[in-house]
Structure 1
Amino acid sequence: MLEIRDLRAGYGAVEVLRGVSFDMREGEIVALLGSNGVGKTTISSVISGLVPAWGGEVRFRGTPIQGLSAEAIVDLGVIHVPEGRHIFPNLTVRENLELGAYRRGKPNRARNLEHVMDTFPRLRERAGQKAGTLSGGEQQMLAIGRGMMAEPELLLLDEPSIGLSPLLVEEMFTLIGKLNAEGLPILLVEQNVLQSMEIAARAFVMENGEIRLSGPTSELMDNSELKRSYLGLG
């Protein structure tokens, strides 16, 4: 459903992505892994139209989308939950969620709101609370829930576990797996290699703006280079 071919992008004179290629299929979780600063967030930003591509191609269900506006890409159903959550702290939880349906999903807003609150019961408990008073984990749930309000065809999750306690990280990955089990394809951009690979079907490991390792997660878990470089084993 998503094809990235020879993608190049950067900021100013600095090239960050150096010919990245990967794809993902309907219904799967694909993990885009690597340490901080290797270009993972730049890829999700190019896919969602926030950063222009310098070269290469991005196709969503066969349609080239590089060069389209962020609004047009949202209209196609590609929904980006950015790193850092970017909630509206002075609005309530309910108001933040309703804003997720601003461009897409508005006719089904009430139904989708119920679905989000069923998925994240703590958001229902705090529906009238200012979003800025939530814990970090609750704010991440709110950011994902807001993305779900737009009825995503593809959900881009950028570093959803960052800044969370180990217990909340475990809970967050369980919830991501639950969303995928409902049929939602997810591109998971993460530094947390081990837990990402436990829920993803395939993974692409980045280094210096390029894909260094790739394959089914069941095979990559046995890769000696990955164990040594990213898991501190061997």
Structure 2
Amino acid sequence: MLEVRDLVAGYGLTRVLEGVSLDVTGGEIVAVLGSNGAGKTTLNMAISGLVKPRSGEVRFEGERITGLSPAQVMARGLIQVPEGRKIFPNLDVRENLELGSYRRAKVNRARNLERVFSVFPRLRERVAQAAGTLSGGEQQMLAIGRGMMAEPKLLILDEPSLGLSPLLVEEMFGLVRRLHGEGLAIMLVEQNVAQSLDLADRAYVLEHGGFALSGRAAEVRENPELKRAYLGL
């Protein structure tokens, strides 16, 4: 579904990604793991068209999307839920969700709204509430729900557990599992290594602009270097 080949990207004179390659196939959860500053968000932005790669290629469903605008990438069904939620705090829950279907799946807005409310019942309870007054966990639900409104073929989740309490982190990973169970392909970009590896089919570990490890999630979890650096074992 998603093919990234030899991607080099950065900002100004700074190179952040040094020729990374990865794949996501239909129906998979693929985890991209790494510490803060490793280049995870730059990778997401380059895939989504928000950062222009300096070299390399991104293909989605067999078509080259390198250099397309974010709107063109999103129109193909590659949807990113950004780090930090990026909701519209002064708009209510319904308005935030409806904006998710502004450029894609507008004709199915009512049906998709009901689907979001079935996954996140708390959003239905707060449908007329200003998004900025929601709790952190509810704002993350809203951000994911907004992504679902665009009928994603592949959903990129950038740090969905960031800033959440341990209980809400458990809930968030459970919701990701549920979405995957409905057949959605997910690229999960996280610092939370242990829980991401429990959830994912395959994983890549990003360090200093390149992938230090990759493979089946169970194999990556047993790697001694990963255990030492990320799990404290």
TM-score, reference length from structure 2? 0.99
AA aligned to 1:35 is S
Report what 1:44 is aligned to: 44
Q: CA deviation at 1:49?
A: 0.5
2:64 corresponds to which residue? 64
1:111-157 C-alpha deviation (Å, 9 max, x unpaired): 00000000001000100100000000000000000000000011010
Deviation at 1:45? 0.4
Q: Which moved more, 1:218-227 or 1:156-165?
A: 218-227
SS at match of 2:57: strand
Query: Are 1:191 and 2:191 an aligned pair?
Result: yes
User: How do 1:88-103 and structure 2 match up within 5 A?
Assistant: 88-103=88-103
Equivalence for 1:4: 4
**Deviating 4+ runs (over 4 angstroms):** none
How big is each residue's C-alpha offset from its partner over 1:17-75, in whole Å with a ceiling of 9 and x where there is no partner? 00101111100000000000010000110111000000001010111101001110011
1:119-198 to 2 correspondences below 5 Å:
119-198=119-198
CA distance in 2, matches of 1:153, 1:217: 22
Structure-2 residue corresponding to 1:200: 200
Question: What is the deviation of 1:222?
Answer: 1.2
Measured after TM superposition, the shift of residue 219 of structure 1 is 1.1
5+ long unaligned stretches in structure 1:
none
What is the distance in 1 between the residues matched to 2:113 and 2:189? 25
- 1:34 paired residue number: 34
Letter in 1 for 2:8: R
Deviation at 1:218, TM superposition (A): 1.2
1:109 offset after TM fit, Å?
0.3
Q: Distance in 1 between matches of 2:88 and 2:221?
A: 38
Match of 2:23 in 1: 23
1:232 shift after superposition: 0.6
The one-letter code sitting in structure 2 at the alignment partner of 1:195 is Q
Give the share of equivalent positions with the same residue, in percent. 68
Q: TM-score, normalised by structure 1?
A: 0.99
* AA matched with 1:133: T
**Cα displacement string for residues 184-206 of structure 1 (whole angstroms, at most 9, x for unaligned residues):** 00011100000001110000001
The count of corresponding residues between Structure 1 and Structure 2 is 233
State the distance in 2 between where 1:36 and 1:209 align: 12
Alignment of structure 1 residues 212-231 onto 2, 5 Å: 212-231=212-231
Per-residue deviation, 1:220: 1.4
Counterpart residue number, 2:108: 108
AA matched with 1:183: G
Distance 2:112 2:62 in 1: 27
What is the SS of the residue equivalent to 1:80?
Answer: strand
Question: Displacement, 1:214?
Answer: 0.5
Q: Which amino acid aligns with 1:174?
A: G
The CA distance in 1 between the partners of 2:157 and 2:117, in whole Å, is: 19
Q: CA deviation at 1:221?
A: 1.6
Q: SS in structure 2 opposite 1:205?
A: strand
The separation in 2 between residues aligned to 1:50 and 1:77, in whole angstroms, is 15
Residue identity in the other structure for 2:175: L
Q: Distance in 1 between matches of 2:24 and 2:147?
A: 19
